[in-house]
Amino acid sequence: MNPNPAADQVHVMAQDPDIYCPEWWNRMFLGQVNTEFEYKPCCVYRGMLTRTTIDPTQIYQHYHDTIAPHRERNLRGERDPACAQCWEAEDRGQVSSRLWKIQEQGRQSVDINTHLDLNLSNLCNLSCAICGPWNSSTWNSRSTRRLYPVAPQYERSRPVIDDPQLFRRLRSIQIQGGEPFMDPNYSTFFENMGRHRDYSDLTITIFTNGTRRPSEKFLTILNSCREVRVFFSIDDQEHRFEYQRSGALWLDVVDNLRWFRDNTGPGWHFNFNPTVSMLNIYYLPELMEFFQQQFPHWPVSINQFNNQPGLLARCAATGMTAWVRDIILARTAHIPALAFLTHYISVIDDPWSPFLDYIERYDEMIQQSYELTHWDFYRLIT
């Protein structure tokens, strides 16, 4: 087995460098919904290029054929409407995913499909306030009719990807879900890969809610990789955490964080990945203090909750009344990682009615009370 298989590389000749995005070549988002596979160039692309039932040994070739005309349009300087999240971020003066990738890789030569965003299912044990049935099977087990239509049920008997052409190209894989440490097909995916190459040059990134640990079999595979980066989606603490991530127990998650710290090797790197929303923006200073006190060497990567579908858009903390915005900015002014809130929050007349309407529906679903768990922020906005 060749531990470092050669990847194809192309020299791009973009007519408009301000439109060119290397993600069209380097990256591949691969999702699976039971027997169907879906593709797009990256995780911020709105919608899918295609969803289809195909041979799981022919994933790469099908994706290559599907994306070819889109790559040509990008080189001609034509904007893809589904790339709007990057253009909107750049209009706000932020570094978009497109610009970040250009800064990392440059504008000339690009490796072909060496990075994979892998989402094999929506299997998850939580019903989170800033999520929905498309990313959590547990949402489907609750009454979601007042919030979302029910998504496809998770089927345990599903085809597993076994594509040597795909496996040999990969240098990095980002695993997301659902909850990745629940679905055994992630481990099987890597077992299939191991028949065609080893793992020694792979960098693995995993986003997890912190409630589960990897199986012994999956842990052994991950320990064989060059590097493993774990991002814990921790948005708040204690009772507020348990409200926002319904089904989780705060003390169990803290115990798991310590287990990862104490039972993994030097190739593992841990990060916190809180998502800013109306549910936690008031409490971010306390959360950042917890991170610093309990896990001082773990970086914190703030996820901005923009451009969410449907009712979830009401949870975005991008619009507030002026006086609440001023309170938030005063509470967070001493935290450099939250300096972006100054331009992130706009002043609007009535941000609270849509948000509280969503919260009323979420409270009914999980049988809890936002007013009780977030009483101090609730008083500010009502």
Within-domain flag for 285: yes
The residues, any chain, with a CB within 8 Å of residue 80's CB and separated by 6 or more, are: 45, 70, 73, 74
Within-domain flag for 100: no
Within-domain flag for 143: yes
How far apart (Å, rounded) are the C-alpha atoms in residues 25 and 21?
8
Q: Do the beta carbons of residue 134 and residue 122 sit within 8 Å?
A: yes
Mean residue pLDDT of the chain comes to 90
Task: Look up the domain containing 144 and give its range.
Answer: 114-305
Whether 9 shows a pLDDT value over 80: the answer reads: no
pLDDT in tens, 80-122: 999 998 988 888 788 888 998 888 776 666 778 889 999 999 9
Within-domain flag for 136: yes
SS3 of residue 93 by DSSP? coil
Whether 155 shows a pLDDT value over 90: the answer reads: no
Please report the pLDDT score of residue 237 as a whole number.
97
Whether 6 shows a pLDDT value over 60: the answer reads: no
pLDDT in tens, 197-240: 999 999 999 999 999 999 999 999 999 999 999 999 999 999 99
Within-domain flag for 169: yes
The token pair at 263 is 């039972």
Report CA torsion sign: 307, 206, 47, 158: negative
Within-domain flag for 211: yes
Q: Do the beta carbons of residue 286 and residue 343 sit within 8 Å?
A: no
Which CATH number does the domain housing residue 238 bear?
3.20.20.70
Number of folded domains that form the chain: 1
Q: Do the beta carbons of residue 37 and residue 57 sit within 8 Å?
A: no
How far apart (Å, rounded) are the C-alpha atoms in residues 244 and 373?
10
Beta strands in 41-179 (DSSP E): 50-52, 109-111, 115-119, 127-128, 172-175
Within-domain flag for 270: yes
Within-domain flag for 165: yes
Mean pLDDT, rounded, for 14-21 = 83
Q: What is the DSSP string of 271-320?
A: EE-PEE-TTTGGGHHHHHHHHHHHSTTS-B-PEE--S--GGGGGG-TTEE
